[in-house]
Amino acid sequence: MKLAYEKPVINKLRSGLMNKFGWSPAYARKVRTNIDGVSIDDLVERYGSPLFVYSERTARQRYRQMYNAFSTRYPNVQFGWSYKTNYLQAVCALMHQEGAIAEVVSAMEYDKARALGMPGDQIIFNGPHKPYAALEKAVSEGAVINIDHLDEIVDLETIAKKLGRTVHVGMRLNLDAGIYPQWSRFGFNLESGQALDAVKRMASGGKLKLNGLHCHIGTFIMDPQAYAREVEKMVKFGYEIEDAFGFGMEYLDIGGGFPSQSRLKGVYLPPEVAIPNIDEYAETITTALSHALKPGDFPKLIIESGRALIDEAGYLVTTVVATKRLVDGTRAYVADAGVNLLFTAFWYKFNVELDREAGGVNETSVIYGPLCMNIDAIDEGIQLPPLKRGARLIFSPVGAYNNTQWLQFIEYRPNVVLVTTNGEVEVIREAEDLSDIQRRERLPKHLELLKKA
């Protein structure tokens, strides 16, 4: 067979020398032949490429580790699974089986939780857009409602009047916990007095009873002390409004935001070093609570963690469909998955593993996705050995925010499988075909030109 000609390139090798980014990885290889004992080859043969693969074992381990970290330090803990992080039914069901209730931020997510069998009183309804009909349904089904803005107070009062009873509600706060830029667009600001004004408004209306406080200070929070500041402020405010209006706080919902073990772009240290252990968060938060709360007072501590529970359980298996040399000499690969499937590529630097050993010296390479769009690059500087068309690259962690924010854009969305704790493989979302793309479209009669021809 005649080999294809490839223009020679001269690359500087940095083998053995230490530089700002650590030891040169010129010969380092990361190889993953299987996921929880199921070979990558087998998976691709049976379910195609690209392929999302979830590890049930890892998801359950992460949940138990985090839940134990909090529940061994505080007597009244409830997890709420953040649907937006990953609302594949199998993932939500797994989290519910572990003991989490549902945390939803839209009518669609509320419907999803109900369709999965979660009763209304096992659902926390957050978010800035709760359409009136959805809100009314959630109230009548006993959901926990965390109010985002004044207009929602008006809606809830209307609903309370219609139902002829007082409605229990929580409110979302935003506050300065030392995380900047501060998220101030959700809920009521604490320091400016906005939150207190909203409580006064609820008290004077006489139809709503505030029984909980909610706050979510951001995402990928790497400083446990930020949560300590958050809970201190929430508890203090809770006691203030209890004294002033008689509203007792039955729960403190501190949101999510705990980081996963992924590497953020621009963070110099590896996740094992940069990211505190979950026990450090639990210890800091529960210690702050024990100082702030009155003796014997243990309001329910609700935690709405998303990313930290599921990210590590998700992998994306991809295949190199083309190899290229860019005009500046950079080695480039085109993979069959790109930012259409990996929304988090915009801020994560993924672990990229090969499914087998590959010979040759590593080279700084770029991995593009399949989209005919310039932005579709999933790694813009990775050390890889020379790869051939057909080589497989496994990206992780990808379990959080990708299967919800993926795009139906240019390509079909692929199969998603779960490797169960006993090593079986279950399809949890089938690959799409043209019928999924066109199911909702309608072609007006006068445009049916091709069909007539």
Ligand X SMILES: Cc1ncc(COP(=O)(O)O)c(C=O)c1O
Q: Give the residue from 398, 345, 407 showing the smallest Cα distance to 35.
A: 398
How many CB atoms are located within 10 Å of the residue 420 CB? 17
Identify which range of 157-165, 256-264, 288-296, 391-399 contacts ligand X by CB under 6 A: 256-264
For 346-378, b/e burial (b = at least 16 CB within 10 A) is eebbbbbbbbeeeeeebbebbbbbbbeeeebbb
Q: At what angle do helices 150-163 and 194-205 cross, to 10 degrees?
A: 20
Q: Is 212 helix (H, G, I), strand (E, B) or coil?
A: strand
Q: How far apart are CA 107 and CA 113, in angstroms?
A: 10
The two most distant CA atoms of the chain are separated, in Å, by 86
Q: Which of 62, 216, 233, 263 binds ligand X (CB under 6 A)?
A: 216
Total residues contacting ligand X by CB under 6 A comes to: 16
- Of residues 44 and 217, the one with the C-beta less far from ligand X: 217
Region near ligand X per CB under 6 A, out of 9-17, 252-260, 268-276, 421-429:
252-260
Does residue 344 interact with ligand X by CB under 6 A? no
CB of 230 to ligand X, least distance (A): 13
* Residue 379, CA atoms < 13 Å, CB-side half-sphere: 24
For residues 137 and 216, which CB has a smaller minimum distance to ligand X in the complex?
A: 216
Region of 254-262, 317-325, 402-410, 424-432 interacting with ligand X (CB under 6 A): 254-262
- In 203-216, which positions are buried (b, 16+ CB within 10 angstroms) versus exposed (e)? beeebbbbbbbbbb
CB 62 within 8 A of CB 309: yes
Shortest spacing between CB 119 and ligand X, in angstroms: 20
Candidate list 229, 233, 263, 307; residue touching ligand X; CB under 6 A: 307
Listed residue (69, 128, 109, 116) closest to 308, CA to CA: 69
Distance of closest approach, residue 295 Cβ to ligand X, in angstroms: 30
Q: Does 174 bind ligand X (CB under 6 A)?
A: no
Of the listed pieces 45-53, 155-163, 299-307, 376-384, which binds ligand X according to CB under 6 A? 299-307
Q: How would DSSP label each residue in 67-123?
A: HHHHHTT-S-EEEEEEGGG---HHHHHHHHHHT-EEEE-SHHHHHHHHHTT--GGGE
Report the nearest approach of ligand X to the CB of residue 144 (Å): 12
Which of 158, 219 has the CB closer to ligand X? 219
> Residue 351 Cβ, how far from ligand X at the closest point, in Å?
19
Query: From the CB of 40, what's the least distance to ligand X, in Å?
Result: 27
Told to check if 149 binds ligand X by CB under 6 A, we report no
Kindly state whether residue 304 participates in binding ligand X, applying the rule CB under 6 A.
Answer: yes
Q: Judged by CB under 6 A, which stretch of 11-19, 153-161, 300-308, 413-421 contacts ligand X?
A: 300-308
Binding mask 88-107 for ligand X (x = CB under 6 A): ---------------x----
Residue where the block lists tokens 């649907």? 83
Closest to 259 in 3D by CA, of 66, 9, 390: 66
CB of 220 to ligand X, least distance (A): 6
Query: Is position 82 an interface residue for ligand X (rule: CB under 6 A)?
Result: yes
**CA 312, CA 237: separation in Å to the nearest integer?**
36
Token reading at 96: 């519910």
| CB of 304 vs ligand X, minimal distance in Å | 4
Tell the smallest beta-carbon distance from residue 298 to ligand X (Å).
22
For binding to ligand X (CB under 6 A), which residues are involved? Answer: 82, 85, 103, 126, 216, 219, 255-258, 304-308, 400
